[in-house]
Every structure is written in structure tokens, then in C-alpha cells.
Amino acid sequence: MTSNIPNLSDNGIEVASLLEQQLLSNHIDVPLLPDVASRVLHLSNDPDSDAQQLANLIQSDQALAGHVMRIANSAAYTPNASMVSLQQAVARLGMDLISEIAIAASLNSKLFKAPGFEKRMDAIWQHALCAAFWGKEIARASKQNVEASFLCGLLHSIGRPAVLQCIADLEGKHEAVLSPDENRSLEDHFHVPYGVAIVEKWEMPLIVCESVKYYLNYSEAENKAEQAMVVYAAGKAAEVTLWPEEYSVDQLKLNEVFADLNLYEDEIEQVLAREDAVKAGVEAIRA
């Protein structure tokens, strides 16, 4: 596996070998999924759950409850009204939307610790959030699973901060300082298998696990290939939104994934016209 990574120094080869060993021995340091996020996810997938149960669960964590209420009252979600209770927020926005907000508020760039990589970790998290919101828009247009697309987009790159955390640990232990290009090459190379290990450890639904595993090669997906397509397209749209100086809208429109999703040019235009709504959602979560 490490032989496929070009232009590594001796230190880079050593760190790559250690990362590969962690994968093969299943010794990846997977952080615990925040308890409330895990319970919210379980509740949102339980057909017998109700709005009061969700409100009570979020209220059990005062910091999270305050964060959820602030986001729910933002212009992105309720531009013309102010809600004063979680029960009211759930009733007005619905269980699915409040669950999304709660999970996104629980998972953030601070879940992983990688000294020296703080700026990159923040960029990864911002891209994941943007992909989550784009995922919903693309899924809606292509008649795919809108509810699952937010979580799939949010977690599609969860392996990236995990790899950076491991690199930071290994660099410290082995005094093996790598260049920024080497760090990025290792992140790109290992983030998918690390991500799969994390979402499986967290017992995420199959649709999430398949999206993480196959979003870069959705034609190889054993199940849920359409969802992997949505996540791939969402990730590409997020790149254009966040880094327009590097990625162009015209290139995005020509990406074959939209044809694979059976979206025509006018439908793609309608999706991309939702960029302001996507940006507002990302800003609301990150504020």
C-alpha cells in the first residue's frame, strides 16, 4: 500500500509504514462518539420515538442544548421567528432537522487532537459540513435519500483528521518531521480506510459506512452506490463553495457524477443556485 505513495522521504516512508501497520493490526485510536450524538442518532432511527424524547435527550446536555437552540434560531433555519424551547424547535423544524443540528454540533474539529495541524483540521471540518448541506440538495434533486445525505456528507472524510492525529503522534514519538506535501499525501492515501474503521466502530448505519468506503470510487460500491455518488458530488460542490480560486463551477458542471445521478443541465443549475442556503447552514453550525 505504501509503495503507491510517491515522493516520500525516508521519514515519510517510515510514518506511512507505521500507519499501514495500525490499519492491519486494527490499532487505530478511534475517539468515542459523543454520548448524546450516539443517542440522538439511535433515537432518530427509531420509528417509535417522538419529539418529546428528542427534546429531553438534547436537554440532558446543557451546552449542546444551548448550541442547538442558537443554530435553530439562526437565519438559516428560522429567519422570521424566535423559538424559546427545544420542544418548540422540534415541533417547528421536525425531528430529522433537529437531529442533524444536534449531531453536527456534537461532532467538530476538536474531536481529534493533532498539534500543528489545527488549520488543516478546521478546513476538513468546514468542508465536511459544506458537503453535508450540499448532499441534501443533490439528494433532493436526484431523488435519493435526503435524510441520510446530511450524515453521510458530514462523515465522509472523518478519516482525514484521524490520519493527521496519528501522523502528529508518530512524528512526536519517532522525531520524524514531514513536509506539508508528505502530510497531505499520507492524508489522501489513508483517510478512506481510517474513516471506514471509525464509522464501523461507531456503529453507523450501512448507508454511512458504504458512503465513507466508496465515495471516491462509487462505481465499486457493493450497496448504496447512488448514495456514494451523492456524497462524491457533494464533496466536489463543497470544494467550489469554499475554495473558488482553486475549483471552478464550470468544471463542476462537467463532472460525470451528475450524469451518473441522471441530472440534466437545468437541474444541475437549480441545485447550484442553492449555494447561499448551503453557506448559511454552514455558518450557522460553525458560529
- Give the three-class secondary structure for 158: coil
DSSP classification of residue 217: G
What pLDDT sits at residue 283?
94
> Domain range for residue 162?
112-287
Q: How many domains does the chain have?
A: 2
163 contact partners, CB below 8 Å, separation of at least 6: 19, 186, 187, 190, 191, 194
CB contact at 8 A, 246 and 41: no
Residues 102 and 144 in one domain: no
Q: If you search the block for the grid coordinates 440534466, which residue do you land on?
A: 264
**Is residue 24 in some structural domain?**
no
CB contact at 8 A, 30 and 201: yes
What pLDDT sits at residue 1?
58
CA distance linking residue 114 with residue 97, whole number of Å: 31
Residues 258 and 127 in one domain: yes
Residues 133 and 70 in one domain: no
Per residue in 222-265, pLDDT tens?
889 999 999 999 999 999 999 999 999 999 999 999 999 999 99
- Of 106, 136, 165, the one marking the end of a domain is 106
- Output the CA torsion 151→235→118→276 (10° steps): -90
Q: Tell me the mean pLDDT per 10 residues along the chain, length 287.
A: 79 91 87 87 87 91 90 87 87 90 83 91 96 97 94 96 92 84 95 95 93 96 93 98 96 96 96 96 90
Q: Which amino acid belongs to residue 109?
A: S
Residues 93 and 148 in one domain: no
What pLDDT sits at residue 111?
84
**Is residue 201 in some structural domain?**
yes
Residues 277 and 166 in one domain: yes
Using only the alpha carbons of the chain, give its radius of gyration: 19
What pLDDT sits at residue 166?
92
The three grid cell numbers given for residue 169, joined into one nine-digit string: 503522534
Per residue in 196-220, pLDDT tens?
999 999 999 999 999 999 999 999 9
> Could you write out the DSSP letters of every residue in 41-79?
HHHHT-TT--HHHHHHHHHTSHHHHHHHHHHHTSTTT-T
74 contact partners, CB below 8 Å, separation of at least 6: 280, 283, 284, 287
What pLDDT sits at residue 2?
61
